[in-house]
Each structure stands twice: as structure tokens, then as C-alpha cells.
A and B are shown apart, each in its own frame.
Chain A
Amino acid sequence: MNQPLLSIKDMSITFSSPDEADIEAVRQVDLVLTPGKTLALVGESGCGKSVTARAVLRLLDKNARIPKGEILYDAEGGRVDIARLHPDSTAMRAIRGNQISMIFQEPMSSLSPVHTIGDQIDEIIILHQRLSPKKARERTISLLDQVGIPGARDRSNAYPFELSGGLRQRAMIAMALACTPKLLIADEPTTALDVTTQAQILDLLRQLQADFGMAMLFITHDLGVVAEIADDIAVMYLGDVVEQGDVFEVFRAPKHPYTQALMNSVPRLQRKAERTRLTPIKGTVPSPKDRPVGCAFTSRCPHAFAPCPGQRPERTPVSPGHVARCHLLTHVREEALA
């Protein structure tokens, strides 16, 4: 049961451009996904969380490379390293949509505007399960029904622009689940939706995960959503995973200054008289080009000290299953020993 389904080890992703030096968007990511569990990948815009997710399906742009690390996936036929597969190879395509599938942020632009949602879902079923178009449509309708789309049979003939945002995202989820994947990657699936719809979609995802038993990689920048859906959390900053562990453990006692700062910037529901100003993180996220050799957070960290800019902090266990990359952890301990 605790056998990992997919483990990303020491992965980095660089983007090359003809005019500039290569940009290392993701410097070092280690993640483990287990069946039936949800890992939330959290971070600001541009920290590399979407890029990491897309790398798992090899959906990155042509100018992206994975120069280092491995993405080990326990496929049906044995363990494969996705990082070494060609993006358009048969092996990769057999995994995409079939064993690992993905839900995207904007359900309007992520569905083809000129095909009915039924057509778009049928396609994936016909492709991987080799059903006849008629049987595929029956499966599509039952899927649409399962994700809570009322009048599924009629709606399967609807075009995306005829559906509301919530229904579109449900259709997107139905598409992702069409081949009962082992891993579902959700890239900010609720960001474009209003709050009530967001709650419904999260509910649906949780329930479907219980039904299908799949692993889920959930990307978001919303800590409220994380609390709602995740078992584990990984916090990313500028291409590095700075802290990860059990979601309650990390929320209760965040160890990395960045995680702590994130927690402090979440507004709380309070009476007006008791409200205090939020404490935003000072400065802005630097470009990956200006990232310090050491800890990426050095330039904005209130506790930065001598080793931070030049030396990469190691993964330091804080408690079982909870690790953080921060010099404070090791150095305080050393000082205590001395």
C-alpha cells in the first residue's frame, strides 16, 4: 500500500532560448506519490510547480530539457524512467491519459472550442481502450453522470461554451478519469472557479479519489485548498522544494522561513477590531537567473546568515516524514551541540 507509484528524484528542468543563457526553472525536486494519497505542490506563481507537473507527462515546450534526475513510474509493464522517454514516443503516449492524466486550470481554454465535450471524451476512450465509438459514448455518458453533470446524455452533445465554468471543469475531470488512471495531476483545477464551485469540485475530487484509489498531485497556491484536500504537502520556492511532509505536521510547525512566511500571509476571519495587518514577504521573487547559489530564499529571508547565499542546505529531517532545507535547522543544532 505504501509502495510509491511515482517518485521524482533530484530532477531539474532547464529552458533554453536562442537569445539568452539557459534558465534553470526547476533546480532540484524530490517528490513521492503513493496510491490513494494526495500530494499538494504549493508555491507562488513562477516557482516551477506547473513545470514540474508537466514534466511528469513530458508536456513541456520543445525548448525544455530535463538534464538531471529521474521520474520513476511503476507502469503496468514494470518500472520506467519517464525523464528518459521521448515525449512523442509510443511508450510515453501509452502512459499519457491512460495511466497518468491531467486536469488544467482554465476549463474554457483547455477544451477545444469546436468539438463537443462528448467527442473530446470519446476520443481518449477509443484511443486507449479501443472501444467502438458507440460504446465509448455510453462510457462517456456514465462518466459525465459520475462527475455530477445533470442530463449527461444531452450534455455530451454540448460544446464547451454552452456550459458553465463548473460544468466544464467537471467535464474535464470526466475526461481525465476516462481510463481510470493511477495518477491524476490537477494543475490549479479550482483557481478559475468561484468559491462555491471550487468547494464542489474539491469535494468531487476527494470522492472520486476514494472510489478509484488513485494517487493525486494537486498543484495550487491556495493554502485553504491544501488544507481541504491534501495528505502531504511540498512547498516550492524558485525551483526548489524547500519543505515537505505531512500536511498537518507542516501546517502546525512550519520549519522553513518561507513556509512560515506563507502561513503568515493567509488572511484569517476576524472581527474588524481584532484584525492585524498581514505580514507579506518582503521583496519580490527574483528571476531564476539571479538565484543565489545557496538557498534560493536568501534574498528575502529575515533569518539569512553566513552560509545561506553560498551553500545549498541539505534535506534535514525535522520529524518522521517531515523534511526542510534550511541552514537554521542544522546550524542551530550544531550550536546546541557545541
Chain B
Amino acid sequence: MLRFILNRLIAMVLTLWAVSFVAFAIIQLPPGDYLTTYMATLAAQGERVDPRAIEALRQQYGFGEPYVVQYWKWITGILTRGDFGQSFEWKAPVTTLIWGRLANSILLEGLAVVVMWLIALPIGIFVAVKKYSLGDYLATVAGFIGLAIPNFLMALLLMYLSFVYFGTTIGGLFSPQYESAHWSLPRLWDFLSHAWAPVLVLATAGTAELIRILRANLLDELKKPYVTTARAKGLPEWKVILKYPVRVALNPLVSTIGWLLPALVSSSVIVSVVLNLPTAGPLLLRSLTSQDMYLAGAIIMLLGVLTVIGTLISDLLLAWIDPRIRYGSK
């Protein structure tokens, strides 16, 4: 098991290195750079551009230098000083900008994942066991509706309904007075009273998908002979199903946890824009449109890290629940 973890960690470091390289390549792709746009804007406004300041920035970021050298400067900054560079648009270090937003993202999307599983697991088991029953059809129809409604539409719908029927607006994650306060019970309550809507919106589509996958997996497993063996032992039916086929049917789902996180982050961009949520998604979107390359690079890089960590977690979980994987890696 230790060796398994070690192997995965080595693979993880290599993957991260590749991710950083690609991330840097992506933010370099658009023609020109922020500095040229920046100078052009300043000159157009009639302001005097301090050549020394520009030169200092050029030096710091190594614009005009070969790609590999620029990459080297960027990555060593991250590794040695935790310095992701400067955001041009916000005129602040990237690190001060992203952590809060990234934490919001992870919190929100983590909650969405939990809600997704809490809803999908019992329903998925129910519809597989009661295949072609009324409940199965109802859950299927509801699931497909959830799958088919775009997230942003659902968000708009929720906003509209809550405004019309409850007279409240949903949006943001905190009331203004709690915006920058420390975590406390009232702040948590405030967060939850704001977060339910985005969590619900983010969870619906995933829930429907999860139910479908779980149902299909479980239908396969329910026919396997080991289920009959468990029944032949004299176990009650619910225990038979929960202990054996459900356990096996969960394996492929656990492996999806890894890419669930980044998928949620990217799918939540529009929802976050619609609901005005201070998460990483809108920040990424804006930094990409304004060529704020170090900010965009940092977010892409951190999403990569999230993906890799998520994959590691699901690998470890999978190895923990499925001995065939644990021993197969020897």
C-alpha cells in the first residue's frame, strides 16, 4: 500500500510539472502581452510612461525572452517564494487575489458534491432495485429534466422564483456585513442561507448523471452470482443489496471524484456569473479576456493541482475499497 501511494505521488509530481508547462504555454498563446496593451492604454490617456518602471517589469517577467526562460522564472518564483506573479489588471500580487476565491470555490463545489451523493445514492439504489416501477420512471423523468436544464437557466429560475414568491434576492455568498469577517456561527449561517441556491443548482445536473450511472452499474451487479450467494446465506434482502452489489457498483463512481472537482469548477463559471458568486470561475474568465496572464496562469495551474489531487484521492479511495486494485499494483 505504501509503495502504491509512493508510485502515485511520483506520478503526481510529474503530471503537475507537465500541467504547469502547458498552463504557461496556454497563457502565452494570444498574440502580444498585457504590457504592450498596458503601455498603449497609458499612452492613449496621455500619461507619461516611466521607461524605468516598464523596464523593471520587463526584467521581472522576462518579456521578450525565450519561452523556456520565461517559464523558468515563473515556475521558480512559485516554487521558491510562492510568488505567482503580478496581476496587471488588479495591480496586486496574484496570491492575494486567488486564495479567498479558490477557497469559496472549493467550499461551494465540495458542498455540491456532498449534496449530489446524498441525493443520488439512495435514489440510484432504489431505481435499480425497483427497475421499471413507477418510482423508477418518475426518478428517470426528473433526472433527465435535471440533466437537460442548463445550470444558468436553473439559477435564473431560482432567482426569479425566490424574488416573486419570497421577496428575497439570491446571489453572492455573504451579506455585506459578513463579507470580510472571520468565520463565526452567524457568518456560517449567513453563508448557508446564501449558498443553498448555487449548491442546489450545481448539484442537480450531476445528481441526475450520478443516478443514471449508479442505476446502470447496479443493474449489472444485481445479476451477478455473488448476490445469489449472499441471499442463499439467509441475509435480509436490504442487507444483501447494500453490502454486496452496491459496494461493488460504487467503485467506478469513486473513480469519478477526481475529475468531478475541476468539472464543477469549470461548469460553475456561468452559474457564478449569473448568481454573482465570488468564486474562482468568474475571475478566470475575466483574466482570460483581458490577457491578465499571470492571474490566468495561476488559476489554470491551481485547477490542474486540484485535478491531480482529486485523482490521487479517488485512486487512494479506490485502492482502499477495492482489493483487486490494491493488490494489482504490487
Residue tally, chain A, CB below 8 Å to B: 32
Pick the residue among B228, B229, B231, B247 that contacts A114 (CB under 8 A).
Answer: B247
Asked whether any CB of chain A lies closer than 8 Å to the CB of B321, the reply is yes
Check A110–B226 contact: CB distance below 8 A.
Answer: yes
Please report which residues of chain B, range 207-249, place their CB below 8 angstroms from some CB of chain A when the two chains form the complex.
Answer: 224-226, 228-237, 244, 247-248
Query: Chain B's nearest CB lies how many Å from the CB of A103?
Result: 9
Q: How far is the CB of B70 from chain A (nearest CB, A)?
A: 49
Q: Which of B226, B234, B322, B327 is in CB contact (< 8 Å) with A93? A: B234
Contact segment of A121-129, A199-207, A242-250, A296-304: A121-129
- Whether B229 contacts A104 by the Cβ 8 Å rule is yes
Q: How far is the CB of A156 from chain B (nearest CB, A)?
A: 14
The 8 A CB mask of A103-114 against B (1 = contact, 0 = none) is 011100111111
Contact A159–B232 (Cβ < 8 Å): no
A95 touches B225 (CB 8 A): no
Is there contact, CB below 8 Å, between A88 and B229? no
Residues of chain A with a CB closer than 8 A to B321's CB: 114
Instruction: Count B-side interface residues using an 8 Å CB cutoff.
Output: 22
Check A57 for interface membership: any CB of B closer than 8 A: yes
Interface residue? B81 (CB, 8 A)? no
Compute how far the CA of A97 lies from the CA of B236 in the bound complex, rounded to whole angstroms: 12
Most A Cβ at <10 Å: residue of B226, B247, B327: B226
What residues on A are CB-neighbors of B91 within 8 Å?
Answer: none
Q: Tell me the bound Cα distance from A102 to B225 in angstroms.
A: 12
- Expressed in whole angstroms, the Cα–Cα distance for A32 and B199 within the complex equals 63
Residues of chain B lying within 8 A (CB to CB) of residue A93: 234-236
**Measured between C-beta atoms, what is the minimum distance from A219 to chain B in Å?**
14
Name the residue among A59, A88, A104, A112 with the largest chain B CB count within 10 angstroms. Answer: A112
**B48 at interface (Cβ–Cβ under 8 A)?**
no
Pick from A94, A98, A159, A172 the residue with the most CB of B within 10 Å: A159
Contacts of A159 in B (CB 8 A): 323-324, 327
Instruction: Judge whether A212 is part of the interface by a CB distance below 8 angstroms.
Output: no
Question: Known contacts being A59-B228, A159-B327, A162-B327, is A112 close to B248, with CB within 8 Å?
Answer: yes
Q: Give CA–CA (A159, B248) in the complex, Å.
A: 14
Q: Residues 56-81 of chain B: 1 if any A CB is under 8 Å from the residue's CB, otherwise 0?
A: 00000000000000000000000000
Task: List B contacts of A112 (CB < 8 A).
Answer: 226, 229-230, 244, 247-248
Q: Which of B232, B237, B324, B327 lies in contact with A102, CB distance below 8 A?
A: B232
Which partner residue on chain B sits nearest A109 by CB separation?
A: B225
6 residue pairs of the A-B complex, CB under 8 angstroms, read A59-B232, A101-B233, A110-B228, A112-B244, A113-B226, A161-B327
Q: Which 6 A-B pairs have the closest CB atoms?
A: A96-B234, A97-B234, A97-B233, A110-B225, A93-B234, A124-B233
Chain A residues within 8 Å of B, Cβ to Cβ: 54, 57, 59, 88, 93-98, 101-102, 104-106, 109-116, 123-124, 127-128, 159, 161-162, 172, 175
Give 5 new A-B contacts, CB below 8 A, not counting A57-B232, A109-B225: A95-B234, A104-B225, A110-B226, A110-B228, A111-B226
